[in-house]
């Protein structure tokens, strides 16, 4: 019941310009990411209490423009009534499964 989230957008330059002719596409990606984040926080009833954005993550290397992949990092914090009910990250037994998603 006591959970809050923080968002961090790391995005290539979303402003269309001579140096960023695909700015409209990057901006559309940003809008869709914001809508998805909105849908998630509304569905879970979880507030976003803080956030950060970096929107000019482009560079030129050897005359070639390089843009970071659009990335949205969401961190969650919460409070539990009894710390003995919490789960730790380490594997518990030999043969425990590890899942890689994404």
Write the CATH number for 49: 3.30.1330.10
* pLDDT tens per residue, range 45-58: 999 999 999 998 99
Is 26 part of a structural domain of the chain?
yes
Q: Which two tokens stand for residue 6?
A: 């923080």
**Is 9 a member of any domain?**
yes
State the total domains in the chain.
1
- Does residue 7 belong to any structural domain of this protein? yes
**pLDDT tens digits, residue range 50-92?**
999 999 899 999 999 999 999 999 999 998 889 888 888 888 8
Q: Which domain holds residue 41?
A: 3-81
The pTM is what? 0.77
pLDDT at 43: 94
Asked, for residue 44, whether it belongs to a domain, the answer is yes
Among 25, 21, 29, smallest CA distance to 9 is for 29
Angle, CA 88 vertex, CA 82 and CA 51 arms, to 5°: 85
| Mean pLDDT score across all residues of the chain | 91
Distance of CA 80 to the CA centre of its chain: 24
pLDDT tens-digit map of 30-40:
999 999 999 99
Residue 101: inside a domain, yes or no? no
Q: Is residue 91 part of a domain?
A: no
In a domain, 90, yes or no: no
Q: Determine, yes or no, domain membership for 100.
A: no
């Amino acid at each position: 019941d006591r959970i809050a989230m923080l968002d961090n957008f790391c995005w290539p330059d979303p402003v269309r310009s001579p140096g960023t002719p695909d700015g409209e596409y990057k901006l559309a990606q940003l809008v869709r990411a914001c809508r998805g984040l909105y849908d998630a926080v509304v569905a879970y009833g979880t507030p976003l209490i803080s956030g950060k954005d970096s929107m000019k993550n482009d560079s030129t290397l050897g005359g070639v423009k390089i843009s970071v992949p659009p990335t949205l990092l969401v961190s969650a914090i919460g409070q539990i009534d009894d710390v003995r009910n919490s789960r730790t990250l380490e594997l518990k037994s030999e043969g425990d499964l590890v899942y890689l998603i994404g």
